[in-house]
Structure 1
Amino acid sequence: MKQIQDVYSKNNLPIKVVQFGEGRLLRALIEPAFQKAVNEKRFEGSVAIVKPTGRGNLASFQQQNCLYTVVLRGKQGGKALDEAFPITCVDRAVNPYEDFEAFLALARLPELEFVISNTTEAGIVLDPEDRFDAAPPHSFPGKLTRFLYERYQYSKGSEKCGLTILPTELIERNGDRLKDCVLRLAEIWNLEQPFCTWIEKTCLFCSTLVDRIVSGCSQEELPSLWERFGYRDELVTVGEPFGMWAIEAPEQVSVRLPIDGPGSPAFFVRDLTPWKQRKVRILNGGHTAMVPASFLAGKNLVRECMDDPAIQRFLTKTEEEEIVPYVPLPHKDALEFSHEIEQRFANPFLDHQLLDICVNSFAKWKERILPSVLDSYRVGKLPRRLIFSFAALLAFYTKAEEKEGELFGQRGDQFYRLHESPRILALVKESSGLSADAYVKAVLRESGLFEELETLPQFAYLAAADLQRIREQGAAAAMAAVTESRNEQ
């Protein structure tokens, strides 16, 4: 069978976009937005991918000449949709851990205008121990600061060489927070003040919000897709038809970045707040509230959760009683969106792995669920199911085994790797074997994420009780027990 590079070729346009991250969301949402604009000759540029971490490699991208196929399937406008199309707008993929000079060379490209990132919620974090002279710096903000400094030096501080940065990480005001990390690192690294001035005057950090459920593709399904395509593709990316990339930016950005319009997931807004609250709290919050317990209860896919009446009821009651009431939108609109979300979760065409959703779940719980918990307490309500979700998070992040420096949890006979920041993994290693009460208190006290929860009445007590019930009775029984709880303090 032919390879994808035997059938398609790259667009070979000048690189105007550097993208930190090579994950499925970027491949299924961001690249299609650029591809559509390139196909319609509205945007004449290509994308260069930069690997943001030292884990894994870019072998598949390099072997396939950075070509891959996107498959979107599900329902759109009440009709079944199953479409496939190639992505040909990626020019190259650079691993700075293997070729640091190639990474810096991207910063010197005269046509470069935009930087995009998706490094998970844990990616936009200031690491004061990061080093300017590392090749590359460890953190994503460190890499970006070094990248911008290279461009600043090469251009001799030219105002024409400033960049527009569009982070897509699911954190509040991602553009503002990334800019703050960059400027603070510049200060920590004692970089000259004119560089900071150059960033302030010529670089624009825009907050954005993305939404598309992307499941990837199982190894079992790949041969049938290859048969359909007529070629092999190791990077096939499968997602749902619904897509959203909301960009809060001044008008001049939309003029230089014409990737919006009919059929595109991208659009520009004046204020991202209502879109952010709706998506992060209802969709992502629903995921994070449901998934750890569901995995421990034996489920592997999101749609399997929706096929289980007990889990679906837990999700519905959590959304309707503990999340939707506190989203700053008309109640009817927020409630309708939550019902749409449940239909999207049940998409029979998507194999959305629960373990993928669980990556970096401590930061996700803080961003997606903590605001709803605090809002519930402010009005005298006890968000009983969200408290349970915190216990389920800790149950999922319980060390069962350690191999070659990696921590693994256990579900029955299955061991699964725990993906988190080094600080959280050290805390899990030290405390997850303690009593339920001690583990909950250790996380609240030492994680650096949940200080607000320590003073909330009954939170630690109930979370510890839920964790103990999960340990003794299993996640399914514990979830069922808490589903019908009343939300009164």
Structure 2
Amino acid sequence: MALKVTFLQFGTGKFIKGYFDWMLSKTDINSEVFAVYFTPKVQYTNLKNNKCIFNVTLKDINYTQTDNVSVIKDLFWAKDTKVIFELANSIDFIVSNTTEKGILDKRGYPLLLTSFLYKKFELDNNKMLVIIPLELIPNNGEFLKQTILKIIDENYNDSFKFWVLRTCEFVNTIVDCIVTKESNLNIERERYYAFYVSKNSLLEKIFNNKGLNVYFTKDIDKIAQIKIKVLNGIHTFLVLTAYMEGKNTVYECFLDKHYINLINKLFYDEIFPTINYDKNFVEDFYLTVINRFKNPYIEHNLKDIALNTYEKFYQRIATTIVDYEKLYNQKPKILMKAFDNLKKMYPDRVKSFENYIENFKHEN
């Protein structure tokens, strides 16, 4: 008999559905997902009217595969907390993808999650709960845990805090897949994907299918740094250069020799030296990323990547600038061109690099 587990999912965008929910559909467990959306849009009504079933199409050169995904059982608006809290006794896992902006704002998703956990605490439910943030920040599980504990210190009693420490396991993750668009309940993404997770026995029981690219590792923090600095860093760099100069997609950039050479120089001169990990692994990762960017069947719009660039810039590029300056006692020239354009994009919020770092830390 297949193992049955229940997920509460915060976030219903194309990425979490085309990546995490798709992976769940490939396991041999009987999984139920109750998903929470934060912005009321027509697409969620359409999804609910279709019994929460959608398609995911994987595209690569000479390869196309479409899968039907039906793991989501129901959808709820984030403001319908009464309905969400009624699930408190039945949830085994909580997964989220609320973007960097969502997880960094403790008044948003972290506050809602804390309220849900308190409801579970009030029910005297001591069943272990695994919390799986997919947001792209290093040590995302530990960050979310510390944010929750701060909220508890400010608003709740110690009994609730001890309950969270005893019954909630926060795992660190790093996600890797390019999911490009969603239209009429059809999601398009690349064939490649990988999911790196800190070791957790309960989660390992879920992803025990050896055909899935799910890796439980002690090096999660290092791999997160590599992925965020390389893949996501290049994405945000292209937003602050190519997009502002008229390019529309990542693929379009890699048809242009200027950007091919610029990205290559950016990686080897400014990103690569700041990553303290096996150099062969890092270089292989970069070369794989570039090949993925050259996939003509993946229409990854720079306009979509540009969303929340102010928040994304810190982990994706600013940390590399700081690390580079520590090594060479000067700022990297190519990445600082991207920062100059960040100032143009956010003239009221960004004055100097040091000012940006100070303000970002203060705001978050």
Tell me if structure 2 keeps the 8 A contact 1:114–1:164: yes
Consecutive unaligned residues of structure 2, counting only runs of 5 or more, are none
The structure 2 residue matched to 1:23, chosen from 7, 13, 16, is: 13
User: SS of 2:51's equivalent?
Assistant: coil
Partner residue in 2 for 1:33: 23
Tell me if structure 2 keeps the 8 A contact 1:166–1:205: yes
Task: Give the alignment's Cα RMSD to 1 decimal.
Answer: 2.1
- Percent identical residues: 26
Correspondence 1:71 to 2:57: yes
Give the Cα–Cα distance (whole angstroms) in 2 for the partners of residues 355 and 441 of structure 1: 25
The structure 2 residue matched to 1:441, chosen from 343, 352, 364, is: 352
Shift of 1:201: 0.5
Give the Cα–Cα distance (whole angstroms) in 1 for the partners of residues 193 and 208 of structure 2: 12
Tell me if structure 1 keeps the 8 A contact 2:314–2:357: no
Partner residue in 2 for 1:182: 148
User: SS of 2:29's equivalent?
Assistant: coil
Shift of 1:288: 1.1
Shift of 1:108: 3.0
The structure 2 residue matched to 1:120, chosen from 99, 106, 122, is: 99
Tell me if structure 1 keeps the 8 A contact 2:5–2:29: no
User: SS of 2:351's equivalent?
Assistant: helix
Partner residue in 2 for 1:417: none
Shift of 1:442: 9.1
Tell me if structure 1 keeps the 8 A contact 2:58–2:64: yes
Give the Cα–Cα distance (whole angstroms) in 2 for the partners of residues 60 and 447 of structure 1: 43
Kindly tell me: are residues 343 and 356 of structure 1, through their superposed partners in 2, closer, same or farther at Cα, counting changes over 3 Å? Answer: same
Kindly tell me: are residues 105 and 386 of structure 1, through their superposed partners in 2, closer, same or farther at Cα, counting changes over 3 Å? Answer: same
Shift of 1:263: 2.7
Q: How do 1:83-482 residues align onto structure 2 when only pairs under 5 Å count? A: 83-97=65-79, 99-109=80-90, 112-127=91-106, 130=107, 139-154=108-123, 156=124, 158-160=125-127, 162-189=128-155, 191-217=156-182, 234-255=184-205, 258-380=206-328, 381-397=330-346, 427-428=348-349, 440-441=351-352, 444=355, 448-449=359-360
TM-score by length of 2: 0.92
User: SS of 2:34's equivalent?
Assistant: strand
Shift of 1:166: 0.5
Give the Cα–Cα distance (whole angstroms) in 2 for the partners of residues 202 and 211 of structure 1: 29
Correspondence 1:59 to 2:49: no
Partner residue in 2 for 1:402: none
Tell me if structure 2 keeps the 8 A contact 1:325–1:331: no
Shift of 1:315: 1.2
Partner residue in 2 for 1:469: none
In the alignment of these two chains, the number of paired residues is 358
Tell me if structure 1 keeps the 8 A contact 2:310–2:346: no
Shift of 1:333: 2.6
Shift of 1:174: 0.5
Tell me if structure 2 keeps the 8 A contact 1:366–1:450: no
Kindly tell me: are residues 292 and 203 of structure 1, through their superposed partners in 2, closer, same or farther at Cα, counting changes over 3 Å? Answer: same
Give the Cα–Cα distance (whole angstroms) in 1 for the partners of residues 357 and 342 of structure 2: 16
Give the Cα–Cα distance (whole angstroms) in 2 for the partners of residues 445 and 330 of structure 1: 31
Question: In the TM superposition, what whole-angstrom CA distance separates every residue of 1:324-355 from its partner, at most 9, and x where no partner exists?
Answer: 12212222332222122111111100111111
Partner residue in 2 for 1:472: none
Tell me if structure 1 keeps the 8 A contact 2:339–2:353: no
Question: In the TM superposition, what whole-angstrom CA distance separates every residue of 1:456-482 from its partner, at most 9, and x where no partner exists?
Answer: xxxxxxxxxxxxxxxxxxxxxxxxxxx
Question: In the TM superposition, what whole-angstrom CA distance separates every residue of 1:98-157 from its partner, at most 9, and x where no partner exists?
Answer: x32211112232xx2100001111122254xx4xxxxxxxx0000100011111112x2x
Question: In the TM superposition, what whole-angstrom CA distance separates every residue of 1:349-385 from its partner, at most 9, and x where no partner exists?
Answer: 0111111111111221111112211121112253101
Give the Cα–Cα distance (whole angstroms) in 2 for the partners of residues 269 and 331 of structure 1: 18
Tell me if structure 2 keeps the 8 A contact 1:126–1:185: no
Tell me if structure 1 keeps the 8 A contact 2:236–2:316: yes
Shift of 1:71: 0.4
Tell me if structure 1 keeps the 8 A contact 2:40–2:77: no
Kindly tell me: are residues 336 and 270 of structure 1, through their superposed partners in 2, closer, same or farther at Cα, counting changes over 3 Å? Answer: closer
Give the Cα–Cα distance (whole angstroms) in 2 for the partners of residues 288 and 188 of structure 1: 35
Shift of 1:49: 0.7
* 1:56 alignment partner AA: K
Shift of 1:260: 4.1
Shift of 1:304: 0.7
* 1:237 alignment partner AA: I
User: SS of 1:124's equivalent?
Assistant: helix
Shift of 1:187: 1.8
* 1:184 alignment partner AA: K
Partner residue in 2 for 1:468: none
Shift of 1:48: 1.0
Shift of 1:74: 1.0
Question: In the TM superposition, what whole-angstrom CA distance separates every residue of 1:384-442 from its partner, at most 9, and x where no partner exists?
Answer: 011111112232345xxxxxxxxxxxxxxxxxxxxxxxxxxxx45xxxxxxxxxx5239
More displaced stretch, 53-62 vs 378-387: 53-62
Greater Rg over alpha carbons, structure? 1
